[in-house]
Amino acid sequence: MPDLPQRSLVDLLDPRGPRPRLVLHLVFGAVVLGFVLVRGLNALAEGRLVPAQYVYPDPVFLLMLGALLPLFALWPLTAWERGAPAHRRAATVGFLACSALLMPVTVEFGFFGLIAVAIALAVCAFGPLGGLAMALLFALVNMGMGLAAPGFATGHALFNGALLLVYGLGVVAAVLTLIGAVRQSQRTRGLLAELAQAHDQLRAHAARDRERAIADERARMAREMHDSTGHHLSAVHLCLANAERAVAALPEDLPRDLLDDLREDIGQARRLTKETLADTRRWVRALKPIALAERSGPAALRSLTDSFGELGVATSFTSSGEWPEDLDGEAELVAFRCVQEALTNALRHSGASRIEVAVHAGAERLDLIVADDGRGPGEGAPGFGLTALRERLAGLNGALETGARPGGGFELRARLPIMTNDQARELEAV
């Protein structure tokens, strides 16, 4: 299961989005509900809907109060990001206009909360200029209401408007600071993710370099065994054959027991040398991998299977499906190792006379089956080779199954998901 993206407190406070965030729903709901409760309680106490201290005509208050209904209806349709659809932008403009109209009657409760929500919406939907324009609009509305109030000092009205403008500018600065912090947090997480991906890629490259180094060392050992040990064993075997012919040419008047002992000792030495030479050749074949740079896909697996057929066991290879062209190198190497390990075990432990290798390339995975007619590895714990192979397959979301065949013999089944080089890099970043 992939890890869920980690979100910081700054992300949770990010106001931007196609619709209002939960925290904005809470703030707006508190403002509207608080205003309705306070005005309702005051109206019950005063015996009238319009406040007694309201200096303007009652229809003006009722007109402004009527903006509450469209304000509430338009709230879910507001868009808190730039580039929103036209109908959501229109709903946002309508909400901002209703906010400016309702603002003068919210003096009892929600005055500054309504202004903060509306300016934050303008900044998110229309950018900094939208926020500045909304702050200026609130300041002008407040100043105009003060200038129109009978007996209200002009200087006091101008001061209130300027004070409200400063508050609006502070809200704009706070929202822009929060948005900047969110963007910086996202950039930091992106850089950390890229760093983690680069680390995983370096680790994967190191593992592949290690694999190549091991393959080179195995090839070197195979050459030394072939050129040194194999050569000396072949020479010893030839010398023993000459000795056997020499014993056959000895005079018949020599003691019979002596001749029989010589023939028996030389024959036994020849058999042991022949078996040791065969084992050496098997080890050479197992140690020396076919270069995947020269052959790939079914061609490499077929060549590997045929090479084991030269060691005295019948082999067959079948391939079906379309081998993916952009198969990840690590996946292809693991597929090669599966077949190589199965063939080596069949020769070393199973005593098989026939080995069948089948490869099927499906749309989403590779299926590798290596079956023989031998006795299998026995009931003990799996060897190091199979254990390591199972771990490598698990690292690529694959699986390995081994066991006896229903009709006798041993079978290895490997399932390996098909992934391209790009998909392999994505798997390494999770």
DSSP string of 136-165?
A: HHHHHHHHHHHHHSTT--HHHHHHHHHHHH
Closest to 7 measured CA to CA, from 246, 186, 236: 186
CA dist., res. 21 & res. 30, Å (int): 14
CA dist., res. 243 & res. 241, Å (int): 5
CA dist., res. 370 & res. 335, Å (int): 12
H or E element at residue 359? strand 354-361
Rounded to the nearest angstrom, the gap between the alpha carbon of residue 106 and the centroid of all alpha carbons in its chain is 51
- Cα torsion for 308, 309, 313, 317, to the nearest 10°? 100
Helices and strands, number each (H, E), in the chain: 13, 5
CA dist., res. 338 & res. 369, Å (int): 9
Look-up: residue for tokens 């909360």?
113
CA dist., res. 415 & res. 359, Å (int): 10
Say yes or no: domain 291-430 is CATH 3.40.50.970: no
Helix, strand, or coil (residue 417): strand
CB distance 331 to 386 below 8 Å: no
Q: How far apart are the first and last CA of the chain?
A: 10
Instruction: Please tell me the predicted confidence (pLDDT) of residue 291.
Output: 47
* Neighbour-count burial of 13, counting CB atoms closer than 10 A to its CB (0-12 exposed, 13-18 middle, 19+ buried): middle
Residues 6+ apart with CB under 8 A from 345: 377, 383, 385, 386, 412
SS3 of the chain: helix, strand, coil, percent, to 5: 65, 10, 25
CA dist., res. 119 & res. 142, Å (int): 15
Which residues in the chain come in under a pLDDT of 50?
A: 1-5, 290-293, 381, 428-430
98 token code pair: 């209703």
In the chain, where are the structural domains located? 9-195, 291-430
Instruction: Please tell me the predicted confidence (pLDDT) of residue 2.
Output: 41
CA dist., res. 161 & res. 173, Å (int): 18
CA dist., res. 43 & res. 35, Å (int): 12
Instruction: Please tell me the predicted confidence (pLDDT) of residue 377.
Output: 61
CB distance 398 to 390 below 8 Å: no
CB distance 330 to 424 below 8 Å: yes
CA dist., res. 313 & res. 232, Å (int): 25
Instruction: Please tell me the predicted confidence (pLDDT) of residue 1.
Output: 37
CB distance 300 to 396 below 8 Å: no
218 token code pair: 């195995």
H or E element at residue 370? strand 365-372
CB distance 169 to 132 below 8 Å: yes
CA dist., res. 138 & res. 132, Å (int): 10
Instruction: Please tell me the predicted confidence (pLDDT) of residue 112.
Output: 92
CA dist., res. 59 & res. 380, Å (int): 95
